[in-house]
Amino acid sequence: MAVHNPTMTPTVARTDTTISTSQAKPYVNPYVGGILLGLVLFLSFFITGSGLGASGGLNRLLVVVEDVIAPGHVDRVPYLIDMAGGDKNPLDSWVVFVTIGTVLGGFISGWRNKRLGFETIKGPRISRNTRWAMAFAGGAFMGFGARMARGCTSGQALSGGAVLSVGSWAFMFAVFIGAYALAYFVRKAWL
């Protein structure tokens, strides 16, 4: 069982922590976690005929709000018509339930293993507000990219990679290459 050891990462500052690490249960072994994730992916294909994904579910949850605020807009945009045009319910999709289950499962796991709390993990040379701004900007870019790529990393990498999709493998290589290239320019925020 792998356990986080704060002495191994002395340059990372944790603030706003309400987590009691002395009572927290150890993390699952990454190999066991990988095998369990593979089994969940297999069961997803077997039961639903589709793989795993998250951005589609989040997108549909946003379309619910958009349909309440501006239903005329939803009925005019071809991309949105497929999800919520006319009498269609954007929540009528398996991926919505996968997304909701992921959030609930993460919450229950954190609560059960005594890791539930708020924290800001940052380097010593960066303020808490800057860290939050960078996280928000990074999340916005990833969300935009996920919709442009027609899938997030879980949909592309896990589901597409599992069926040996060339596009999914190219996507994941691009993600890792891009992340390592960008890491050089933002390293001062962490070191």
User: Where does the pLDDT of residue 44 fall: very low under 50, low under 70, confident under 90, or very high at 90 and above?
Assistant: confident
Residues 127-149 pLDDT 10s: 889 889 988 998 898 888 887 77
The closest of 146, 167, 163, 181 to 58, measured between CA atoms, is: 146
DSSP three-state, residue 23: coil
CA distance 63 to 106: 23
- In sign, the C-alpha dihedral spanning 90, 95, 97, 103 is negative
Where does the pLDDT of residue 3 fall: very low under 50, low under 70, confident under 90, or very high at 90 and above?
A: very low
* DSSP code for 157: I
Does residue 117 surpass a pLDDT of 50? yes
| C-alpha separations of 125 from 12, 122, 182 in Å | 10, 8, 18
Calculate mean pLDDT across residues 60-78.
Answer: 88
Beta-ladder partners of 101: none
Task: Return the pLDDT at 104.
Answer: 93
User: Has residue 190 got a pLDDT over 80?
Assistant: no
Query: Is 2's pLDDT higher than 50?
Result: no
